[in-house]
Structure 1
């Protein structure tokens, strides 16, 4: 039976002012590291989904205005093992990129059902560790975006 998950998601790069990136290790795939990600729920805006996913996956409560909308989206093929979650025939997802700058000492509480561990890494190390090309590319873009914002 096909699922009902929407093929629209958010990717949120959580970073410190020194550009250390928060990565989460997937519980369903040990060794697969990523930034905060998640699909939109019915009737939810991109910004609301980004805030909800940050809170659910890291315990960090953030106001919508603290998030930076990159106005960047990536289309990628959904892994075959996860396609059953989506309506029949859906093969691609549209991911929207956001970032959130937090203090270096911000406490993180991972969602145990979704993640095994977390770490903070400098940009290049974080980009090398993530399994997703869209996550890697966003991490590598972060220093330029931050310098433009300053």
Structure 2
């Protein structure tokens, strides 16, 4: 049996996420883009965020709260806080962090040759596949939705 030590994702030293023996480090832009993508995937934001909104979303992911909102998004988070917080595995903060980590973990697996990326023309999406299993798609655990309390610039 091979004992493979997986590498850690590294794009910079601005942000760090650790899980078990894995330590993923991110530059500011990479981390912010992954936070924004996670927010979209969770249905909490509808698309591209402006600078202040992105700053607030990153602060939420990093600090678990937004003390001094830089935008309407930060104010919306604070106004809707009871709907966003909950048991650790059900909070928006948990899922933002989890999706940022998961995206970097998957990208690292691609870099190391364990996974490939394929485009599914029928579904119009990219998918991670396992080359050693004949291109079998990787099934990711579903994430909850925060659409009912989603942020939109006119929501506050």
Q: TM range, normalised to the smaller chain?
A: under 0.3
Structure holding more strand per residue:
1
Structure holding more helix per residue:
2
> TM-score, normalized by length of structure 2?
0.26
> TM-score, normalized by length of structure 1?
0.26
